[in-house]
Amino acid sequence: MDKYKLIAENITVSYNNIISVKNITMKFKANTVTSLIGPSGCGKTSFLRCLNRMHDMNKNVKVMGKVVIDNTDLYLDNMNPIYHRRKVGMVFQKPNPFPTMSIYDNVTAGLRLNGIKNKKILDGSVENSLKLAYLWDEVKSDLKKPAIELSGGQQQRLCIARALAINPEILLMDEPSSALDPISTQKIEETIMNLKNELTIIIVTHNMQQAIRISDYTAFMYLGKLIEFGETKKLFTAPTDPLTAKYVKGFFG
Amino acid sequence: MFMELKPPHNLFVDKIFKIIIITSAFYILILIVYLIIKLFLESGPIWQEIGFSFIINSDWNTIEGRESFGALPYILGTIVTSIIAMIIAVPLSIGIAMFASYMPKESHIILNFIIDLLASIPSIIYGLWGLIVFRPIFVKWFEIPINSTLGEHMWLFSGIPLGLDIITASIVLAIMIIPTIASVSREIMKSVPLQQQEAAFMLGATKWEIFKFAIFPYAKAGLVGASILGLGRAVGETMAITMLIGNATGVFALPKSLFQAGQTMSSILANEFIEASPLSLHISALIGIGLILLLFAICINIIAHVLVVRMLKVREGLINI
């Protein structure tokens, strides 16, 4: 039996009583990359945002089901989601560094939120996180520069570094390279491949080639349902569901 | 099919239209320039007689033959009441705005409606309320206890606690400017992109930490602008202040204690304008104060405008912070 890092059980999400994710159950193994693919509006992002209770920000969203991380259900009533959210990092579609802060302050924002003020720890974390995100060489001489002056691709890698700085065990990525050029995309993909040794990654992507390149497992979603979930190679070469076959061959989506 | 093009006389209509809109736009500019020039000319005698020291003098004697005028107590009165009002109103307004930008939609509409309603209440109503309802309570529960305990030791709380004084006027003024600051601050906070809040949320921020990390730094300039807009209103506010500040004149109006009658630039105008004889030095002194007040208000509004507009441009991504 493999040990599962994260288990999502019977997840149903509704926005204003319109159901967007229907009863999805998925298990994610530690130190793997899993891609969620499917046409726009199929509920990929809604599902991803359940995994760290990101939906708490919007009161119109209702989530049912269980998300178990290390044997604890994230949706238990007495659970403090903030503690767990700090274990699950997230990178968004559009780079969103804090515009008024420097590169250094952006990376350390999570640690400072957790009350760490020791300069040595912060310095170490900045170097370590930026190295993991493949940004260190480009910015090491200029850490006090405002984050907003970086290019789009650099900003996105800065956001990855910011998420990594609090040592999350799981990293959620919502189409992290959809707003970026091919070279930045390639760098982000390299980053993801290297991060696999450190943590478990779940990534939403529109780009099937990207899913093939970077992920160990792939899940195909359609109209809020999980159609097929398995090893990437198998899903793309020998899908069991006819709908998956149609999608991966590019007939719709 | 052949289509008939517009005959050229339409271009003539275009030109007329252009002239009309340019005139209406210039009308505002002309009006403000005219106001400044007119106030300057009408107050001419005071600048000739007393000169620049009109601004730094404190005497106020309107008796013909012994006239002497100084605007300093009223300038200081305006500054002091406005600053006290800002100290009270800004934190409260930002609190209201934080609440309003984070409430569920339904109650949010009611709160916004109330905020906007408060902004439209005529200032004489606030003045009456301050005089009849607020003053007796405030005197009994705040001024008398503080004055009797601290009055002898601290100049700030000395004086006679009658309720017609600088602190009462400032508090009512604060209540009056809260809606302005709160509603602009609310819009500013709502303009902070959701992605920014998500970034803080993702890092495990609590609600307060989202404000601290994502919203305040982003909205800072705009919030300062909103506060200065409130300051602009405070500086020009007349009726409520006139009813509550006690209307001292001359050196007695120099603000020294919170429990002392004072006078602002706008309240002295309201008090004395009708009594001043048309060709006296008195009237030109009052108009001189009006000129100073106008310049004050213009400067404050320009600063506020620049800050708020800058914030909104940041939102549209036109400039970076």
**What average pLDDT does this structure show over B215-242?**
88
Closest CA to B237 of B101, B77, B13, B112: B77
The structural architecture, per CATH, of the domain B45-315 is Orthogonal Bundle (1.10)
Cβ-Cβ pairs closer than 8 A, A with B, add up to 75
- Residue B46 and residue B48: Cα distance in Å, rounded? 5
Mean pLDDT of chain A: 86
Residue of A83, A109, A146 with shortest CB distance to B203: A109
Closest CA to A149 of B199, B227, B91, B321: B321
Identity at B25, one-letter amino acid code:
A
Which residues are CB-contacts of A85 (< 8 A; sequence separation ≥ 6)?
A52, A53, B201, B202, B203, B204
Confidence of residue B80 (pLDDT cuts 50, 70, 90): very high
Confidence of residue B303 (pLDDT cuts 50, 70, 90): confident
Note the pLDDT of residue B167: 92
Q: pLDDT per residue over B168-218, tens digit each?
A: 999 999 999 999 999 889 888 888 888 888 888 888 888 888 888 888 888
Note the pLDDT of residue B189: 87
Sign of the Cα pseudo-torsion (A143, A146, A150, A152, in order): positive
- Residue B47 and residue B41: Cα distance in Å, rounded? 10
- The residue in chain A having the minimum alpha-carbon distance to the alpha carbon of residue B199 is A96
Q: Which of A58, A113, A150 to mutate to test the interface with B (most CBs of B within 10 A)?
A: A113
Question: Which token pair is B203?
Answer: 């890092």
- Residue A224 and residue A208: Cα distance in Å, rounded? 18
Contact B202 A52 (CB under 8 A): yes
- Residue B64 and residue B180: Cα distance in Å, rounded? 43
- Residue A147 and residue A3: Cα distance in Å, rounded? 38
* Beta bridge partner(s), residue A26: A8
Element at A239 (helix H, strand E): none
pLDDT exceeds 90 at position B58: no
pLDDT exceeds 90 at position B90: yes
Planar angle of CA B31, B32, B33, nearest 5 degrees = 95
pLDDT exceeds 70 at position A214: yes
Which residues of chain A have a CB within 8 Å of the CB of B202? 52, 54, 85, 89-90, 92, 163
Contact A52 B206 (CB under 8 A): no
Residue of A97, A101, A113 with shortest CB distance to B209: A113
Q: Which CATH superfamily is domain A1-87+171-187+196-253 in?
A: P-loop containing nucleotide triphosphate hydrolases (3.40.50.300)
Residue of A59, A101, A113 with shortest CB distance to B203: A113
**Count of positions (residues) in chain A:** 253
ipTM over 0.95: no
pLDDT exceeds 70 at position B138: yes
Mean pLDDT of chain B: 86
- Residue B68 and residue B102: Cα distance in Å, rounded? 55
Confidence of residue B8 (pLDDT cuts 50, 70, 90): low
Confidence of residue B125 (pLDDT cuts 50, 70, 90): very high
Helix axis angle, B194-202 to A152-164, nearest 10°: 30
| From-to residues of CATH 3.40.50.300 in chain A | 1-87+171-187+196-253
**What average pLDDT does this structure show over B73-81?**
93
pLDDT exceeds 60 at position B317: no
pLDDT exceeds 90 at position A1: no
DSSP string, B270-299: HHHTTTS-TTSHHHHHHHHHHHHHHHHHHH
Which residues of chain B have a CB within 8 Å of the CB of A163? 202-203
Identity at B83, one-letter amino acid code:
I
The percentage of residues in chain B with a pLDDT greater than 90, rounded to a whole number, is 31
Query: In this predicted structure, which of A58-67, A166-175, A215-224, B73-82 has the lowest mean pLDDT?
Result: A58-67
- Which residues numbered 61-100 in A keep a CB inside 8 Å of some CB on B? 82-83, 85-86, 89-90, 92, 94, 96-100
Q: Where are the alpha helices (DSSP H) in B239-280?
A: 239-244, 265-272
